[in-house]
Amino acid sequence: MDAFSSMIIDAVDKVKNAVVKIDVYKNSNGKFKAAGSGSGFIFSSDGLIFTNSHVVHGAERIMVGLLNENEIEATLVGEDPDTDLAILKIYTDGYSVAKLGDASHLQIGQFVIAIGNPYGYQHTVTVGVVSALGRTLRTQSGRLVDNVIQSDAALNPGNSGGPMINTEAEVVGVNTAMINGAQGLSFSVDIDTAKEIATQLLRDGKVFKAYLGVMLQEVTINPKILRHYHLANKKGLFVASIEPDSPASRSQLQEGDIIISFHGKPVNTMHEIFKELTKREILSAVDVSVIRHTELLNFTVSPVTQHK
């Protein structure tokens, strides 16, 4: 067998026992009726499972199917519709735990593998490459999700909530969405964001994230500009668009700006700005530095609590 196939088979083999099928039910006239399905994966030895918020939202009963065909009822620990993430818990054994990786090491062109249950076919594997990183995505509900990995691994509706893994069998993303009408594009919330969300859900049962109202894209900054202004950055966050009636729209931020510093810290990645926005003290006037054309500008923006 060729080396590439062996690598994919080995990676899938290490993770497959941690991937689960999720079936949700709603009560109709005293009977539970099937109301959709998706995927998830076990990420802790005490039975915690990542899936998508849209898979389990509003469910009155959640059943988790393991690879050994055991079906167990799960409890919902918490969910965050803004990042489309949810955490479930099961009380059983006979599963393995997926190893969580580090999305900051991902590179465009790198192979990734998606595992899930599209259309109820258990454990379907697709392979693709990372097409883009550090993007903001508008979900079907209209919300903006930061830190999205774009790949060309084929995802179908039942893949929602399954893991995106690298060839070392580490989870680098939670598969979340296909864009309706787009060919060959699929999206995953990067695992660093997912870990941050999990910490808050497990600690507080809910997520705090301040809202700016910008669609961002990580970009490389011209080395001449870095040298001219003695900047510590290598990258910045390009403002692709600004939401109307948002904190960003009420500030001096403009589309086309490249954010290089936020809340007194240089920002190279979406994850760095995301972490700042999960701190409650951020709900005040925050200093922002941007490159506009070749100028370095400083002003303030005032994040607000996320609209629900």
Q: Which of 23, 37, 39, 54 is catalytic?
A: 54
160 catalytic per annotation:
yes
Contact indicator for 241, 253 with CB cutoff of 8 Å: no
Q: Which of 37, 160, 186, 261 is catalytic?
A: 160
How far is it, in rounded angstroms, from Cα 171 to Cα 209? 24
Contact indicator for 175, 167 with CB cutoff of 8 Å: no
241 catalytic per annotation:
no
How far is it, in rounded angstroms, from Cα 47 to Cα 70? 14
Q: To the nearest 5 percent, what fractions of the chain are helix, strand and coil?
A: 20, 45, 35
152 catalytic per annotation:
no
List helix spans (H) across the chain: 3-15, 53-56, 191-204, 223-228, 270-277
* Burial classification of residue 248, based on how many CB atoms lie within 10 Å of its CB (0-12 exposed, 13-18 middle, 19 or more buried): buried
Q: Is 153 helix (H, G, I), strand (E, B) or coil?
A: coil
At how many degrees (to 10) do helices 270-277 and 191-204 cross?
10
Phi, psi angles (nearest 5°) of residue 11: -65, -45
Q: Which of 84, 146, 190, 257 is catalytic?
A: 84
User: Which residues are catalytically annotated?
Assistant: 54, 84, 160
